[in-house]
Amino acid sequence: MNPSVGVLGGGSWATALVKLLSNNNAKVHWWMRNTEAIQHIQQYGHNPHYIQSIEFNTDRLVVTNDLQAVVDACDYLVVAIPSAFVHETFDHFKPTGLDKKVIFSAIKGIVNEFDAIPARYFHKHLGVSYDNIGIICGPCHAEEVALEKLSYLTIGCQNLDRAEAMSKMLACRFIRTITTEDVFGAELAAVLKNVYAVAAGICHGLGYGDNFQAVLISSAAREIERFLDSVHEVHRDVKSSAYLGDLLVTAYSPYSRNRTFGTMVGKGYSVKWATIEMNMVAEGYYAARGIHEINNKFKADIPIADAVYRILYEKISPMMEMRILTEKLS
């Protein structure tokens, strides 16, 4: 019998995860803020704002805007709230009992107020033991989950029994799962790949071709390795799918909102107008500042991430910054 599971968040990734969990006969408790969306899902069985093609079996689904009720009802919680709103959400609703739950992050971003990856935030600010904190990462786009295209998920937790339990809840005919104990490395890599996807988009918007993109992303993979080695003393093979695979799909896929955001910046959009036009959160925008702040301490050599930060936050010309970057890559 599967443990009870709750999903927090109303976006595309939350929608895809609810599909997977409810497909596996789990009773899913789904929290979101939007009351109109909740009523629509209850009546029509699909999310009116994200991936409308997914149809839910509402007999297996409890949708509510009562966050405490979801926490109370569930053994496992999957947090799929955009990173920019994670602290605001928990600080506003102040749910109790989180320290007794198993929490898996599907956030893939930095908690801005603390420049912290979600695992650290859950531990330091919500009182959750690291043994009860996990991550769900790719390479996987929510849109392809909706289309039931073969995809792979990496499930991480220091307590591998917790990771295996979540893997069983997510695995199905078109989802393969891999487990790992490397929560910190996988989370940091998931943050960094969004920054590099923004870089890939900027270069695409500026007119750089596939040949340069190959150099850019292979250099980005080495940057990820250098950064992880600096921040976390455990060395890992970044050529595996949780690291390199997630980087590749985010940098190249037409579904990647970070690549799309970067493309618009490369074409001359301001950050504000690119965000308005997309009507979605590009995690790489916030991640660029978070990684920059973290690296002020560790001083890893990450020129691509530095270039993205300068373009987005110091308003350096994308054309000028990328021209300088081309001399640093190999």
Measured CA to CA, the distance from residue 191 to residue 194 in angstroms comes to: 6
Q: Are 122 and 141 in contact (CB under 8 A)?
A: no
Nearest CA among 121, 65, 115 for reference residue 98: 121
For residue 142, what are the contacts with CB-CB under 8 A and spacing of at least 6? 12, 13, 15, 16, 50, 51, 255
- Residues 118 and 235 both lie in one domain: no
Phi, psi of 51 (to 5 degrees): 45, 65
| Last residue within a domain, chosen from 142, 158, 181 | 181
- Residues 17 and 81 both lie in one domain: yes
Measured CA to CA, the distance from residue 180 to residue 155 in angstroms comes to: 6
User: What Cα–Cα distance (Å) separates residue 42 from each residue in 46, 63, 80?
Assistant: 8, 7, 20
- Residues 296 and 272 both lie in one domain: yes
- Residues 174 and 190 both lie in one domain: no
| Last residue within a domain, chosen from 181, 198, 228 | 181
81's tokens: 């709230």
- Residues 157 and 189 both lie in one domain: no
- Residues 60 and 124 both lie in one domain: yes
Measured CA to CA, the distance from residue 201 to residue 100 in angstroms comes to: 41
- Residues 240 and 122 both lie in one domain: no
91's tokens: 């600080």
Model pLDDT for residues 240-273, shown as the tens digit of each residue: 998 999 999 999 999 999 999 999 999 999 999 9
Q: How many CB atoms lie within 10 A of CB 54?
A: 21
Q: Give start and end residues of each alpha helix (H) in 45-85.
A: 67-73
For residue 271, give its domain range.
185-326
- Residues 161 and 192 both lie in one domain: no
Q: Residue 14: which CATH number?
A: 3.40.50.720
Measured CA to CA, the distance from residue 244 to residue 221 in angstroms comes to: 6
- Residues 203 and 124 both lie in one domain: no
Please state the domain count of the chain: 2
102's tokens: 């198993």
pTM of the model: 0.94
Q: Are 136 and 153 in contact (CB under 8 A)?
A: yes
From first to last of its 330 residues, what are the pLDDT tens digits of the chain?
678 999 999 999 999 999 999 987 778 999 999 999 999 999 999 999 999 999 998 888 999 999 999 999 999 999 999 999 999 999 999 999 999 999 999 998 999 899 999 999 999 999 999 999 999 998 999 999 999 999 999 999 999 999 999 999 999 999 999 999 999 999 999 999 999 999 999 999 999 999 999 999 999 999 999 999 999 888 888 999 989 999 999 999 999 999 999 999 999 999 999 989 988 789 999 999 999 999 999 999 999 999 999 999 999 999 999 999 999 998
| Last residue within a domain, chosen from 181, 203, 233 | 181
- Residues 23 and 169 both lie in one domain: yes
Measured CA to CA, the distance from residue 41 to residue 48 in angstroms comes to: 7
Q: Is 53 helix (H, G, I), strand (E, B) or coil?
A: coil
- Residues 85 and 175 both lie in one domain: yes
Q: How many CB atoms lie within 10 A of CB 264?
A: 21
Measured CA to CA, the distance from residue 182 to residue 163 in angstroms comes to: 11
Q: Residue 214: which CATH number?
A: 1.10.1040.10
- Residues 52 and 176 both lie in one domain: yes
Which amino acid appears at position 197 of this protein?
A: A
